[in-house]
Homo-oligomer: A and B are copies of this chain.
């Protein structure tokens, strides 16, 4: 094993955490791999910046943020620092930094069409990425596999996965603050200082001291609010649907209009043809190439659906939406057909449910509260407010999306 510290701590200025502090050489070098730099070219919130114009931040910014929260957890939770070996600390830090490395552009829509999951790609990139693997191997031949195990929840030290991915983890702790900061929506703010202060270790798991429960309640509410204000904003969902329909259309027409796609979006060919997708193909993907392709598709005349959808996307001629109702769908089908819209690409139903807090069954996923008598209880058993919320009817939102027909 060869864990090297930098001679002097390096820092990145970060608007959310003030500084991101780097102590290990491997982390510093991982930042400058092509795979990691690619994250600068993928928006953290997909097309949400079309709704909240400030939300132009990238997955790079979030990834270094998750690293920093993990670093603070290790350094500020005394019991955690003592509980983990230095190697385990490095595993956690690398996993934090790399947990989103497999994301592609507009992941949600793109993955739905191509059936490629970013989780799978994350593992592939860590194990085989041109820059990353070598750096991890230099520390230890086990590091790449250990990092992947933490990310896909198969690592025997479940606390490591819990740090990066659970109900209250470095990932969520960063993105709530970050997305709130960049959108300008204040709801995502919560008291990260207090949460970090009240983490303890019990039975090899992270728990929160009872005195931190109010901060956790606030965090649960922040999460709930960010979902409805930002992540599930209907205009964002309209973009997702338009993106999905463009990708679907590209896939659908590829067999008969291969040349059209090759000419305007060559890099997408591996994803819509039957061919194997290489790591290189995947790593080429980013928002820039996608948008470049949409611009070109918006200028061609060979496929008018692709042309129209691309231009709508670029120029903010977004699908409208109404609350879905019993007969609405068939009415809309009729109306759009009369206007010669292809409803495969111009009409969509979308339903969402969000439960502010689910007392998940899986150990390591729940938020556990350390009581003053030393016992440990699941959050909703202790917090009357979380209990009320957990037992309440989940908020459901079902909408129908379609173009403004009066304009055609």
Contact = CB atoms under 8 A, between A and B. Distances in A.
Q: Which of A33, A183, A215, A288 has the most CB of B within 10 A?
A: A288
A315 interface: yes
Interface in A184-241: 184-187, 189-191, 193, 197, 214-215, 217-218, 221, 224-225, 228-229
A365 B318 CA distance: 40
Closest 9 CB pairs of A and B: A15-B184, A388-B392, A388-B388, A288-B291, A292-B292, A288-B288, A15-B54, A34-B315, A289-B292
A225 B387 CA distance: 16
A60 interface: yes
Q: Which of A60, A388, A395 has the most CB of B within 10 A?
A: A388
A384 interface: yes
* A contacts with B: majority SS: helix
Contacts of A19: 193, 197
A181 B214 contact: no
Interface string A278-315: 00000010111101100100000000000000010011
A224 B221 CA distance: 12
Contacts of A395: 384-385
Interface in A1-18: 11-16, 18
A282 B196 CA distance: 43
A187 B193 contact: no
A53 B214 contact: no
Q: Which of A185, A187, A190, A311 has the most CB of B within 10 A?
A: A187
B60 A58 contact: no
6 contacts: A15-B181, A16-B184, A187-B214, A214-B228, A292-B292, A356-B385
Interface string A55-83: 01110110010000000000000000000
Nearest to A35: B315
A393 interface: yes
A258 interface: no
Interface in A313-370: 314-317, 356
A391 interface: yes
Interface of A: 11-16, 18-19, 31-34, 37, 40-41, 49-50, 52-54, 56-58, 60-61, 64, 181-187, 189-191, 193, 197, 214-215, 217-218, 221, 224-225, 228-229, 284, 286-289, 291-292, 295, 311, 314-317, 356, 384-385, 387-389, 391-395
B316 A182 contact: no
A16 B54 CA distance: 9
Contacts of A229: 214
A379 B58 CA distance: 37
Contacts of A190: 186
B385 A13 contact: no
Contact of A184 (B18, B49, B288): B18
Nearest to A317: B32
A232 to B, nearest CB: 11
